[in-house]
Amino acid sequence: MRLLVLGGTGFVGGATVTEAVRRGWSVTVFNRGMHGTVPPGVQRLRGDRTAPDGLAALAGGEWDLVVDTWDSAPRAVRDAARALVGAVPHYAYISSGSVYALPVPPQVGEDAPTVDTAAADATGGDYAECKAGGELAATEVFGERALLVRAGLILGPGEDIGRLPWWLQRVARGGDVLAPGPADLPVQYIDVRDLAAWTLDRAAEGVGGAFNVISQPGHTTMGELLEAVVAVTGSDARLRWTDPAPILAAGVVPWNDLPIWVPEGHEFRWMQERGVQKAYAAGLTCRPVADTAADTWRWLRAVGSVPPRAGRPAREPVGLDAAREAELLMA
């Protein structure tokens, strides 16, 4: 297979390139060439898709499929799709479960309404608007030949937001760790390598349409996740399981201050309860959380710190600082 990846050096794009190389595919990446590296044998085309004539390097190329991870103004997806419509038969767009319009029901399926995208092209919009607009742009050009991959929480080696890395580094320091309960709280996520493999499999088959690509709700729990983190780090950390009420009363923000955790009853709990029957029927499989934790820890020790996000502004770090956590533990 001849694969074109628009991007290719960030978290999801990098995992997609790595998986395609592992399969022996011919891989080309298109990006500005300002961030990251690509494996040996991968062809790199340079261009800025937001600039006039920025897609010129794609002219004359032919591929079997393209994977696009763009998450800013949707016009960049539309321009790329139009430039490639005669050069590639299938367009896979890495979208997000964030595209669903609020309020989002539990077990939301792919037919649910998505956010309004009217302002996304003009102003850049927020993340959800841009991803929903990217879906519309890809579908506008490729129709049923567009695969819309609505990923959920993405973890694994290469993570450039730092959610699982924060837990790994915090637990590795040892001592008492504020563990947000309950321990049996179901957690839904997707390992980036499983996301990449499923996307390439379905795109190679010519599958189109929208899919929630994330594990079954309860694929793991907060307890299983943090116990796996303790095990892979070899830490003497003590998990201090705490009910959600006092944590929330102290002003702790789920998902950001305590990454991954979204307690029952929270307005964003739906992010851990999406319907996935369609993706599983289309062959999705998800590796055990212990494998994701171990491989992420191995990668994190090799690189030393969470890398910057490819082509994106720096963002506020996730996770509680040590002083705040100590205060909460004392309370």
CATH 3.90.25.10 segments of the chain? 161-186+219-271+288-330
Percent helix, percent strand, percent coil in the chain, to nearest 5: 40, 20, 45
* Counts of helices then strands in the chain (DSSP H, E): 11, 15
Closest to 215 measured CA to CA, from 296, 282, 273, 131: 273
Q: How many CA atoms lie within 13 A of 318 on its CB side?
A: 20
Measured in Å, how far apart are the chain's first and last C-alpha atoms?
58
Residue 313 has pLDDT above 70, yes or no: no
CB count within 10 Å of CB 287 equals 15
Average pLDDT rounded to a whole number, residues 307-312:
75
DSSP of 166-222: HHHHHHHH-SEEEEES-TT-EE--EEHHHHHHHHHHHHHHT--EEEEESPPTTSEEH
30: DSSP letter: E
Tell the CATH topology of 2-153+191-213: Rossmann fold (3.40.50)
Cα gap 34→264, rounded to integer Å = 42
| DSSP β-ladder status, 190-191 and 238-242 | unpaired
Cα gap 279→284, rounded to integer Å = 6
What's the pLDDT band for 123 if we cut at 50, 70, 90? low
Q: Which is the CATH superfamily of the domain at 161-186+219-271+288-330? A: UDP-galactose 4-epimerase, domain 1 (3.90.25.10)
SS3 label, residue 18? helix
Residue 192 has pLDDT above 70, yes or no: yes
- Assess contact for 252 and 178: CB atoms under 8 A: no
Average pLDDT rounded to a whole number, residues 41-59:
96
Question: Is the four-CA dihedral 47, 50, 51, 57 of positive or negative sign?
Answer: positive
Residue 327 neighbours by CB under 8 Å, 6+ apart: none
CA 284 to chain centroid: 16
Length of the chain: 331
Which pLDDT score, from 0 to 100, does residue 312 have? 65
Average pLDDT rounded to a whole number, residues 231-242:
98
pTM for this one? Answer: 0.96
Average pLDDT rounded to a whole number, residues 218-225:
97
Helix pair angle (222-233, 289-303), 10° resolution: 40
Determine the residue type at 95: S
User: In degrees to the nearest 10, what's the CA dihedral of 250, 173, 190, 193?
Assistant: 160
Residue 58 has pLDDT above 80, yes or no: yes
Which pLDDT score, from 0 to 100, does residue 314 have? 62
Record the tokens describing residue 130, joined without a space.
């841009």
